[in-house]
Amino acid sequence: MRSKSLTRPLIPGAGKLRCGVAMLLAGWTCLAGAAEPEGGWKWPAGLHGYLDARAGVRTQSDPVEEDSPLHEIRAQLEFSPAIGDIRFQVRGDLVWDGVAEDDRVDLEEGTGPLDLREAYLTVSPLDSLDVKIGRQILTWGTGDLLFINDLFPKDWNAFFIGRDIEYLKAPSDALMASWFSRWINLDLVYTPRFDPDRFIDSARLSAWSPMAGRLVGRDVAMAVEVPDQWFQDDETALRLSHNLAGYELSLYGYEGRWKSPAGFDPVASRVTFPRLSVWGASVRGTLGQGIGNLEAGTYESRDDVGGINSLVPNSEVRVLAGYERELIRNLNGSVQYYAEIMRDYQDYRANLPEGMTARDEVRQVATIRLTAMALSQNLVLSLFAYYSPSDRDGYVRPVVTYRVDDHWTVTGGANWFEGEEPATFFGQFENNNNVYASVRYGF
Amino acid sequence: MNTRLAIILGLSLIATAAWAQSPTSSGATNAEVLLAKSHQTFYAAGADMKADVVMELITGDGKQRTRALTMLRLNAPGGSEQKYFLYFREPSDVRRMTFLVWKYPEKEDNRWIYIPAVDLVRRVAASDNRSSFAGSDFTYEDISGRDISADTHTLLREEKLGNNDCYVVQSTPKETLDYVRRIAWIDKTTYLPLKEEYYDLQNELARVFTADKIENVSSGDGSGVIPMVMKRTMLNVKSGHRTEVTFKSVSFNVGLTDDIFTERYLRQAPAKWIQ
């Protein structure tokens, strides 16, 4: 078990700016130097990426957090060489992070001055087989910012504090084998060591602590046990898919663990990642004037069969239905309905410790997305909102993006949480409401 | 006598009217036939096609944006269905994105877009073929062709455009769209559209398409050459914004297969075709 404490001292990031900028400049100079031919400077062919400066601020004070959950500069570099039939993909960020207090590079958690997003090779040993080995971003399933059968790691901090949406997906260190035939395609992903979500980090976001019975942040240590034994604490995910005249049909399986710490070990006083199996299915295709999708999954919480252990999450059935269409030209709208149905609710109620608030048997969430484009699609206004009638909480994400030219993009956005209870999923973040802005130069 | 004369005159007038009408009705039929031929030449030449495409989006005051992509197209054998695969190279924020379209002439297309940074295959709602393609002055329909049966076509006249003899065909959409008619100058020799004018709901000239450079490209199968519009422009007359599209490295009948137009290659662009 890898143990760590998520407590961060309340020290502002003084002095880090110089260090970070120096590091970025050093990296830049190295790249430029490597690329400089005798005749003068030339950017290396095939090297792409961006520079992104981004800052956010809370719109209300939080007694246990800094005013800013986000101020950072990222230089993302991407290179995609090929040697014969072997294709490589390397993409990583050099980061100056003004909020994180820990400067050490941790590629698992994506902290420190290097965040390696991708480093994999792809080979096709057979015409019908692709194999991808290494660090990779993986996504499947049909939900829009709701995930049932996509059990690949997410970065919820990035999502809630205003990083670009691409950072919601955290990388997996895995082997992916994909076999294709006329009738069925099979994707198999083996992760030899458990890759958890980059779950809520108390250095940036205050959240509900059932143990403390209040919202906690930098003031309270949350001890976490991350299973990290190679080939023992592993994960396997598979998908069988078929495209039937434009209708995408998929079956899914997953064996691993709850991706964010969902259990609690009272002896060690640590949050844990209990074992989990998921089986599911989805369909997506044209429906009327738009696109409809249905997805379901059954979550087997293998460390609590029967639902009698209150320290381990119960098994659930999760379902999702969505519909998207163009409302008028340059304005798209979508709606989704999502439910988590607890399978052993009576046992859950019977075994709930005294004083703990019981959740509903069915947690329901509805979402809406509106995307408008103007000025030759250079201005994009996007609004995504979650509302849970069962938890009586919600979360709204407005984002405005303007492409100034082919290189420069400016973005502004907000993350706004609302809830009646501090213990519900979105309600717990009510002190983290924030607005942010970014400037990006892509090349 | 007068009565008889009147009857003869009347019958003559009816006959004349009927005779006068027949070129119009046969003109409409002819117009549809030649438009179908033009459509085939412009949008569906060869069994398949590969091309590198550069789009320059230019504002009225000269500011310029560039979209660069590789396009693969495959025609369904014996039918009018097509599949398109687009791989974006520029600008940087869409680099490596891929776009897949299964196009059906008389029903909604199936469209998918792949966003590599998050490994996400998104389904795109395709109800409005009149929306802009990649922010340009071309619509999806302008890129891949409009269903011929969705319009009423009339051969207006035959005239020279520059040095080229042309049919001038008016196409009127059967349903209400953002334009009320399109007038196309179709080259009598190649059947390529050399110019198109789109008139908006106020019946004012709104957009003008021009074929600026035409070259003969090897058919790739030994059957000769295929005339191809290598440079084309769509001008928004009212805003002054225009889009210039240049085709490079065009090859026909290269041997594209159906499996390229699937999720496998959407996620991992086919190296054989996308260098």
- With beta carbons under 8 A apart, name residues in chain B contacting A168: 118
Cβ within 8 Å, pair A442-B90: no
Coil, helix or strand at residue B94: helix
Please state the separation of Cα A57 from the chain's center in Å.
Answer: 21
Confirm or reject contact between A68 and chain B (CB < 8 A). Answer: no
Residues B200-224, mean pLDDT to the nearest whole number: 96
**DSSP line for B229-275:** EEEEEEEETTT--EEEEEEEEEEES----GGGGSHHHHHS--TTT--
Nearest C-alpha of chain A: how many angstroms from B8? 57
Q: Helix, strand, or coil here: B179?
A: coil
CB contact under 8 A, B268 and A130: yes
Do residues B12 and B5 touch, judged by C-beta distance below 8 A?
A: no
Listed in sequence order, the DSSP H helices in B44-147 are: 140-144
List per-residue pLDDT tens for chain A, 443 residues long: 555 544 333 333 334 444 444 444 444 444 444 444 455 666 677 899 999 999 999 999 999 998 999 999 999 999 999 999 999 999 999 999 998 877 889 998 888 999 999 999 999 999 999 999 999 999 999 999 999 999 999 999 999 999 999 999 999 999 999 999 999 999 999 999 999 999 987 879 999 988 888 999 988 877 888 999 999 999 999 999 999 999 999 999 999 999 999 998 888 889 999 999 999 999 999 999 899 999 999 999 999 888 888 889 999 999 999 999 999 999 999 999 999 999 999 989 988 888 777 889 999 999 999 999 999 999 999 999 999 999 999 999 999 999 999 999 999 999 999 999 999 999 999 999 999 999 999 99
Rounded distance between C-alpha atoms, residue B264 and residue A415, angstroms: 35
Specify the residue for token string 């906690």: A216
Q: Which pLDDT score, from 0 to 100, does residue A34 have? A: 44
Window B:48-107, CB contacts with A under 8 Å: 57, 63, 65-66, 90-93, 95-96, 102
Between CA A118 and CA A76 the distance in angstroms is 11
Beta bridge partners of B58: B64, B242
Tell me if chain A has a CB within 8 Å of the CB of B110.
yes
Nearest CA in chain B to A165: B118
Residue ranges of A 368-387 with Cβ closer than 8 A to chain B: 376-378
Query: How far apart, in whole angstroms, are the C-alpha atoms of residue B254 and residue A227?
Result: 52
- For residues B33 and B40, the answer to whether their CB atoms sit within 8 Å is no
pLDDT at B107 over 50: yes
Asked if A405 and B90 come within 8 Å (Cβ–Cβ), the reply is no
Token pair recorded at residue B53: 């495409």
Q: Which amino acid is at A105?
A: V
pLDDT at site A40: 61
pLDDT of residue A16: 41
The span from the CA of A363 to the CA of A229, in Å, is: 33
Q: Which of A248, A326, A442 has its CB closest to that of B93?
A: A442
Angle value at C-alpha A209, between A207 and A210, nearest 5 degrees: 140
**In A224-256, which positions are buried (b, 16+ CB within 10 angstroms) versus exposed (e)?**
bbbbeeeeebbbebebebebeebebebbbbbbb
Other CB atoms within a 10 A radius of the CB of residue A374 amount to 12
d(C-alpha B242, C-alpha A29), whole Å = 39
Contacts of A187 in chain B (CB under 8 A): none
Flag if A329 and B131 touch (Cβ within 8 Å).
yes
| Residue A239 β-bridge partners | A187, A252
A439 DSSP β-pair partners? A53, A410
Q: Which residues, in sequence order, are CB contacts of A436 under 8 Å at separation 6+?
A: A54, A55, A56, A57, A70, A161, A162, A412, A413, A414, A415
Contact A303, A263 (CB under 8 A): yes
**B130 touches A at CB < 8 Å:** yes
Cβ of residue A289 closer than 8 Å to a chain B Cβ: yes
Q: Do A291 and B123 touch (CB under 8 A)?
A: yes
Q: What does DSSP say about strands A70-79 and B82-90: parallel, antiparallel, or unpaired?
A: unpaired
Q: Which of A180, A289, A377 sits opposite B264 (nearest CB)?
A: A180
Q: Tokens for B229?
A: 């519009």
Which of the residues B89, B107, B114, B119 would you substitute to probe the A interface, choosing the one with the greatest number of A C-beta atoms within 10 Å?
A: B119
Displacement of CA A306 from its chain's centroid (Å): 30
Return the residue in B55, B90, B108, B123 with the most chain A beta carbons within 10 A, the one to mutate for interface testing.
Answer: B123
Question: Hunting for tokens 């892509």 — which residue is that?
Answer: A442
CB pairs under 8 A between A and B: 96
Residue A183 confidence (pLDDT)? 93
pLDDT for B15 = 42
CA distance B131 to chain A (A): 6
Q: How far apart are CA B41 and CA B50, in angstroms?
A: 15
Angle (CA) B182 B187 B190, round 5°: 125
What is the C-alpha to C-alpha distance for residues B6 and B60, in angstroms, rounded to an integer?
63
pLDDT in tens, B117-175: 999 999 998 777 888 999 999 999 998 899 999 999 999 999 999 999 999 999 999 99
The structure tokens listed for A69 are: 């959950």
Best A286, A336, A371 member to test B by mutation, with max B CBs in 10 Å, is: A286
pLDDT digits (tens, 9 = 90+) for B14-38: 444 443 333 344 555 689 999 999 9
* Domains of chain A (ranges, CATH numbers): 2-34+45-377+406-411 (2.40.160)
Q: What is the ipTM of this complex?
A: 0.89
Q: Given a cut of 60, is residue B44 above it in pLDDT? A: yes
For each of the domains in chain B, give its residue range(s) and CATH number, in order of start.
45-267 (2.50.20.10)
For residue A34, report the phi and psi dihedrals to the nearest 5 degrees: -65, -25
